[in-house]
């Protein structure tokens, strides 16, 4: 499954959804107009003067009335949709809180929650997405989960209490792989748009219901002169709006359900490809069928986000006309063709510290004699397979999960613990940005001391030696693990933290590649969260308008991995060949990080299918000599961070002596 293709499919489906919405609104406007015309005709039939003319009875077409009705109806629908969309503008966090979710403390001592966080961290690092915050719905005993957000940077994972209590590690991993596929395939934004659109249509039915309720308060006027016409008009308007709104909602739900069912099939298949463990997601689905609560969600808001859950929010065996999920047995048979329809008896998973350690120990390990640092190289170049890098985007596979697990193991426990709480997370970022030279480091500490919180400053001093010992490939993943904790900062704290980061980078009057990459990752994922920036809009649909920016990026990549002029030119040409164009590599003095930043901001506005070509060109450029250096890896991560594209870890192609 192609990451960029699925992103484009999701974007096109969003476009179709908007057109369906427009057609539905047009139909609703016409229907409401007919209701208003009929109500006014009824009022005229009860006129005070028997011979009085009724202007609405002469013709069904009344332009002025239509204009007033159209404007009023559009205002109600659009304002209601915008209101609901604004409620969800903060991304997945708003959905999680609406569902009664509790954010899991990254430093939790609860064994089931620790296992969940570990699985989510591994999945995020393996897929190249920012590590999302995790929420638990404590009041939901069923087995269910969801992913919500506008983009990977503001995504959250939500799980029911039943997931923690009844799923083993493999099953939990299968469910999380399913949810990460929604993140990677662009389903989340589509799902949030559906909520806003359906709410706008629903409001008409709600207004009709309130109009009907108001009938009891107008009873005293029904026998007065002309009161009968008003009463009938109120009845017509109330019933009409209720019927029109209900019919609109009916078709809206049909659209929602049809879209959701197809995306669920895709997410199930993606989960199997991600983990290579059909028994993981298959076992979780079977346990849903074996539980009395199945996947049913009790929250009163379950209907609003029913299309976002792992399983049906209404229960797996309830006959639903608007089923947002395929039949449970059908989903199981797609991942386990041998399933005979018999569901197992389900008992809580007995989780102890020893069993948790045993679960972790069961994960694949390097083959005997294969040193860890051979898989996690420090400063050496790594063989690279360009097709593998692009092919695993959005579908990284178990080898990347293994790699992510080993990356986490190379991080000293004090660093991992610090990355999971706000003061420590800030200190981790500060320590990663510290220079290697004592004079530079002293200048940075002097700049940080009066600006940072005392606790973060002391933590930075404590963690700096541990960062120095950290293997190079683990530094950027360590930065990614801090995002959930950093999102817990207040806006004022984030503004101060952001300023401190920029001051640390500028302390030595130059910006190196690691500093630029960390800065790009932070801004891309946190500025939007704190409302300081908006996601890049799609403005480019043809590669020609992006060529100047692409040439600048490829020139930077060519100089980053090569020293010989002929090798630089060859690497640049291989990159340009991927987009079917020719060009000249820029002089080295024009390849500064500042110029790179401007070029990447332009490329970030490309359509998803163009981003595939851009990244393909970048990977071909760095892979021209068959290897990728740590500097080239950092450059690729900087490119991916700015493009908003999740790039999996770049590791050596699998060999026979490596664990599969």
| Catalytically active residues, by annotation | 179
CA 659 to chain centroid? 31
SS3 543: helix
CA nearest neighbour of 141 among 303, 300, 296, 302: 296
Q: How is residue 93 written in tokens?
A: 């966090």
Question: Residue holding tokens 């664990």?
Answer: 659
Q: What DSSP character marks residue 383?
A: E
CA 127 to chain centroid? 12
Residue 11: partners with Cβ closer than 8 Å, 6 or more residues away: 186, 538, 607, 608
Q: How is residue 241 written in tokens?
A: 């709006």
Instruction: Report yes or no: 133 and 156 within 8 Å, Cβ to Cβ.
Output: yes
Instruction: Report yes or no: 208 and 242 within 8 Å, Cβ to Cβ.
Output: yes
3-state secondary structure 479-523: HHHCHHHHCCCCHHHHHHHHHHHHHHHHCCCCCCHHHHHHHHHHH
Phi-psi sector, 276: left (phi>0), alpha (psi -120 to 50), beta = left
CA 328 to chain centroid? 25
Q: What radius of gyration, in Å, describes the C-alpha atoms of the chain?
A: 29
CA nearest neighbour of 46 among 303, 272, 221, 181: 221
SS3 434: coil
SS3 321: coil
What are the residues facing 628 on neighbouring strands?
382
In order, the DSSP letters of 42-89 are HHHHT-SSTT---TTTS-S--HHHHHHHHHHHHHHHHHHHHHHHHHTT
Q: How is residue 354 written in tokens?
A: 């020893």
CA dist 164 to 297, 362, 520, 565, 636, Å?
15, 19, 35, 57, 36
Cβ atoms within 10 A of the Cβ of 156, count? 26
Question: Residue holding tokens 């007919």?
Answer: 34
Instruction: Report yes or no: 280 and 169 within 8 Å, Cβ to Cβ.
Output: no
Instruction: Give the sign of the dihedral formed by CA 435, CA 438, CA 439, CA 442.
Output: positive
């Amino acid at each position: 499954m192609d990451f960029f293709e699925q992103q484009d499919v999701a974007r096109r489906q969003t476009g179709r959804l908007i057109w369906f919405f427009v057609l539905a609104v047009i139909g609703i406007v016409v229907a409401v107009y007919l209701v208003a015309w009929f109500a006014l005709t009824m009022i005229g039939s009860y006129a005070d003067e028997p011979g009085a003319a009724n202007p609405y009875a002469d013709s069904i077409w009344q332009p002025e009335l239509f204009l007033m009705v159209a404007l009023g109806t559009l205002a109600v629908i659009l304002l209601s949709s915008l209101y609901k969309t604004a409620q969800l503008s903060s991304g997945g966090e708003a959905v999680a809180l609406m569902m009664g979710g509790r954010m899991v403390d990254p430093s939790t001592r609860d064994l089931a929650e620790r296992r969940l966080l570990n699985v989510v961290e591994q999945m995020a690092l393996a897929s190249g997405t920012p590590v999302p915050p995790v929420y638990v719905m404590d009041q939901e005993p069923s087995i269910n989960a969801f992913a919500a957000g506008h983009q990977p940077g503001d995504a959250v994972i939500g799980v029911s209490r039943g997931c923690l209590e009844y799923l083993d590690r493999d099953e939990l991993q299968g469910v999380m792989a399913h949810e990460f596929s929604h993140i990677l395939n662009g389903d989340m934004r589509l799902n949030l748009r559906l909520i806003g659109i359906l709410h706008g249509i629903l409001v008409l039915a709600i207004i009709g219901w309130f109009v009907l309720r108001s009938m009891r308060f107008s009873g005293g006027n029904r026998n007065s002169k002309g009161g009968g016409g008003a009463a009938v008009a109120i009845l017509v308007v109330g019933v009409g709006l209720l019927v029109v709104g209900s019919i609109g909602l009916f078709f809206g739900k049909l659209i929602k359900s049809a879209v959701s069912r197809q995306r669920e099939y895709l997410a199930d298949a993606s989960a199997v490809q991600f983990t290579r463990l059909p028994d993981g997601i298959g076992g979780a689905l079977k346990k849903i069928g074996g539980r009395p609560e199945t996947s049913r969600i009790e929250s009163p808001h379950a209907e609003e986000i029913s299309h976002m859950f792992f399983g049906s929010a209404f229960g797996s065996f309830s006959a639903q006309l608007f089923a947002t999920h395929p039949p449970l047995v059908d989903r199981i048979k797609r991942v386990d063709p041998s399933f005979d329809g018999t569901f197992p008896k389900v008992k809580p998973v007995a989780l102890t510290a020893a069993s948790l350690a045993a679960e972790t120990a069961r994960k694949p390990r390097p083959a005997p004699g294969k040193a860890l640092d051979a898989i996690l190289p420090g400063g050496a170049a790594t063989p690279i397979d360009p097709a593998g890098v692009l092919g695993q985007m959005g579908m990284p596979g178990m080898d990347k999960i293994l790699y992510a697990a080993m990356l986490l193991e190379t991080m000293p426990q004090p660093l991992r613990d610090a990355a999971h709480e706000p003061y420590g997370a800030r200190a981790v970022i500060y320590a990663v940005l510290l220079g290697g030279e004592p004079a530079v480091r002293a200048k940075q500490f002097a700049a940080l001391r009066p600006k940072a919180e005392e606790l973060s400053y002391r933590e930075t001093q404590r963690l700096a030696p541990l960062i120095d010992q950290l293997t190079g490939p683990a530094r950027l993943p360590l930065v990614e693990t801090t995002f959930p904790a950093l999102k817990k900062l207040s806006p004022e704290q984030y503004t101060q933290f952001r300023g401190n980061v920029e001051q640390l980078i500028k302390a030595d009057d130059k910006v190196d590649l690691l500093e630029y990459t960390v800065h790009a990752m932070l801004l891309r994922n946190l500025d939007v969260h704190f409302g300081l920036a908006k996601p890049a809009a799609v403005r480019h649909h043809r590669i020609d308008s992006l060529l100047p920016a692409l040439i600048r990026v490829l020139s930077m990549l060519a100089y980053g991995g090569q020293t010989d002029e002929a090798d630089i030119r060859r690497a640049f040409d291989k990159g340009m060949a991927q987009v079917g164009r020719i060009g000249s590599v820029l002089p080295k003095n024009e390849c500064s990080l500042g110029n790179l930043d401007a070029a990447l901001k332009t490329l970030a506005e490309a359509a998803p299918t163009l981003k595939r070509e851009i990244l393909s060109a970048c990977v071909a450029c760095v892979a021209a000599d068959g290897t990728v250096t740590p500097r080239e890896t950092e450059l690729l991560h900087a490119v991916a961070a700015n493009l908003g594209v999740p790039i999996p870890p770049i590791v050596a192609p699998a060999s026979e002596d490596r664990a599969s």
